[in-house]
């Protein structure tokens, strides 16, 4: 599914294509994809322009020229955006389309219909209501330490909880803990300050790398654990190399933590 880096790519794409163009109309193929009544969405956005964006975790907020009208997009499992001219066929699975008065369109692609679009009037209030914590790239180490200290659960599911910090998905947390040399089953409240700092640093390393690589996994450095998942062509010359820790050569273990498939190095990520 689109994780924080992919949503950041969609944010940048929207900014590059769809700003400052009056909205003429909106079509919605399946109204179950909306979190706001269709007539309200249509009336509120008619004539409005997209002027700014804010991403919090996997949520993309789009400011309009009416401060009280903000579009929220969540890309679910497979959501995407496509900007195109209305003289060509609507892209496949573009189930929600914003038609601009200049003849161009922004399609919200929803292949599996887990995606959502709606309106919010205040982002901070929405995040508070949904118990969504600060974005993973903006949370400070003191806040992260405080949140981790409160939970007597394995650190992996705690980091996956959007009430801890927003935007960390399964592979990202595995990568963060690998880079921080923290075992995913270690109890969150028992982590040392040094480990918390290492996790905070690793969050930035992993997310900044993913964004700079435009979420193309094959372009991640060979020192990243993600290649063990074999999602893209391995950067290793030896096709078997992905099975081993790129730092110490120990066989990568695959287990389940908090109900999620988990990759880690047993030699460097010691269970306390």
3, 8, 115, 175: the catalytic one is: 3
Among this protein's residues, is 260 annotated catalytic? yes
98 closest CA partner among 59, 48, 55: 48
64 closest CA partner among 39, 81, 46: 46
User: How many Å apart are CA 242 and CA 250, to the nearest integer?
Assistant: 11
Contact 14, 31 (CB under 8 A): no
Among this protein's residues, is 2 annotated catalytic? yes
User: How many Å apart are CA 156 and CA 134, to the nearest integer?
Assistant: 18
2, 5, 157, 184: the catalytic one is: 2
Among this protein's residues, is 3 annotated catalytic? yes
Among this protein's residues, is 15 annotated catalytic? no
Contact 25, 86 (CB under 8 A): no
The pairing of strands 94-100 and 104-109 is: antiparallel
| Residues 6 or more apart in contact with residue 194 via CB below 8 angstroms | none
- Tokens encoding 136: 């993973």
111, 260, 266, 268: the catalytic one is: 260
10, 11, 58, 72: the catalytic one is: 58
Residues serving a catalytic function are: 2-3, 58, 260
């Amino acid at each position: 599914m689109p994780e924080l880096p992919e949503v950041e790519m969609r944010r940048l794409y929207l900014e590059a294509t769809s700003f400052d163009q009056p909205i003429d109309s909106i079509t919605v193929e399946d109204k179950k994809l909306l979190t706001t009544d269709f007539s309200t969405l249509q009336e509120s956005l008619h004539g409005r322009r997209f002027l700014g964006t804010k991403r919090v975790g996997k949520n993309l907020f789009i400011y309009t020229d009416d401060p009280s009208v903000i579009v929220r997009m969540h890309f679910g499992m497979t959501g995407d955006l496509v900007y195109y001219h209305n003289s060509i066929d609507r892209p496949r699975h573009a189930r929600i389309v914003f038609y601009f008065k200049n003849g161009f369109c922004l399609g919200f692609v929803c292949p599996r219909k887990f995606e959502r679009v709606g309106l919010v009037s205040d982002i901070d209030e929405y995040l508070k209501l949904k118990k969504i914590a600060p974005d993973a790239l903006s949370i400070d180490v003191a806040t992260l330490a405080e949140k981790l200290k409160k939970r007597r659960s394995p650190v992996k599911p705690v980091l996956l909880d959007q009430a801890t910090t927003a935007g960390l998905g399964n592979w990202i947390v595995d990568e963060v803990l690998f880079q921080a040399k923290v075992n995913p089953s270690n109890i969150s409240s028992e982590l040392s300050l040094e480990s918390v700092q290492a996790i905070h640093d690793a969050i930035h390393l992993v997310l900044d790398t993913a964004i700079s690589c435009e979420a193309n996994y094959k372009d991640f450095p060979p020192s990243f654990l993600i290649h063990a998942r074999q999602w893209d062509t391995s950067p290793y010359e030896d096709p078997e190399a992905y099975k081993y820790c790129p730092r110490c050569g120990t066989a990568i273990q695959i287990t389940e933590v908090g109900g999620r498939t988990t990759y880690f190095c047993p030699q460097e990520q010691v269970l306390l």
